Amino acid sequence: MNPASTPSGRPDVLVVGGGIGGLGAAFALARQGLRVRVLEQAPAYGEVGAGLQLAPNCTRILAEYGLLDEAVSLGVVPENMVMRDAVDARVLTRLDLRDLERRYGFPYLVIHRSDLHGILLRACERAGVDLLNDRIVTGYENTDDGALVRLADGGVESAPLVVAADGLHSVARRDLIGDDVVNSSYVAYRSAVPIDHVAENGIAEKDVTVYVGPRCHFVQYALRGGDMFNQVAVFESPKALAGQEDWGTPDELDTAFEGTCDTVRKGIPLMWRDRWWRMFDREPIEKWVHGRIALLGDAAHPPLQYMAQGAIMAIEDGWVLARHYAGAAEPDATPDRDAALAAYEAVRVEHCRRVQTTARSWGALWHLEGDDRLRRNTILRARDEHDYSFTDWVYGPTALAPDEEPAMFTPVPLSSAPVGEPAA
């Protein structure tokens, strides 16, 4: 089947989804000389949410794209990442983010989600990407010379390659894989407020601070040059565990953090209470490419948030896809397109599986209670500040060019650590 071209011409690549992953892929492909069209279901391009953490594996790509300076100007480059116990506020471990930058060559940056989205949107506009709104995709189909998508209004769009960057609840994932999301029973509340609203709350303005457990965690860091302050409160919902429909409500938020330290309790009243984000992921899959339809970002590998890699992985996907696909997109290179897509899949699948499964393990580690919490604290406090075995495999360049097998972090069994509170 070969549907007629759209009035503005048939693109080389059709990207479904105008979020961070979709725009990142569109720009990566356009800068390789491909004609790219993005279909976004919303009436306007934009992002909801608050802060994002961009580790060196992402800022490395932004630097190559010529976008890092703009991102730094809109965000904050923190000095440390500090993990504290949520109950007593004691420091468990830290990363010196300035030393991290020296190690990997690129900074650790925090930025408002809408600011990063705006950077990528403007880059796409400059690169000539065709950005369309109000395009609700209802189905995907391979064709003799590529793939097509069907729209809710009865229209059809086609291209030699369709990239499905349509998020956690991806239509392409539904059609091609047919699996369902996995409910973690955890929920996230967010807020971003002027920093003077929290100045008296005992905050660390120059650090990313994570307060962990039991069955909850709380994240804080500054945004927008230090003018704003981002907070994320995550907790396990008793209502979700009981199978109730109405779960993650503000009353559960307040209850979950009742036993936490002073700084955390002072932050909880500032959380947005008219919206919350239930935390889902999916089981890792090994097949992302189906004919000329390629999954990307959360459609391929939605992680839980504990490694702060979700948006980063989507940006990495676009970078890898563009590098492999661009050389095969010439009219006389049709036989090579399948090999290029297979290479994209080969590079990304195993790395993203590791991130997904490690994120689940980290979430379990953060949310321990009782004696397991005390053992965890003892282990974390024994870690050397400059031990990068936790980060080399994900922040280093091997995720993009995995010729060298990255080392994996093997958690120390909790039973091997003594029970007891460490000294302050």
Residues taking part in catalysis: 221
Kind and range of the H or E run holding 148: strand 146-151
d(CA 37, CA 163): 10
What are residue 47's phi and psi, to 5 degrees? Answer: -130, 150
- The strand pair at 293-295 and 161-164 is best described as parallel
d(CA 316, CA 65): 12
Q: How many residues are recorded in the chain?
A: 424
What are residue 281's phi and psi, to 5 degrees? Answer: -135, -165
Residue 387 tokens read as 């031990």
Q: Which residue has the tokens 């802060």?
A: 51
d(CA 30, CA 17): 16
d(CA 390, CA 383): 10
- The strand pair at 36-39 and 289-290 is best described as unpaired
In 3D space, the residue among 148, 144, 146 whose CA is nearest the CA of residue 175 turns out to be 148
Q: Which residue has the tokens 């994120």?
A: 359
In 3D space, the residue among 292, 293, 295 whose CA is nearest the CA of residue 334 turns out to be 292
Helices (H), 262-333: 262-267, 310-325
| Cα–Cα–Cα angle for 286, 292, 296, rounded to 5 degrees | 50
d(CA 294, CA 314): 13
d(CA 114, CA 52): 9
Residue 29 tokens read as 């492909």
Query: For residues 361 and 367, is the Cβ–Cβ distance under 8 A?
Result: no
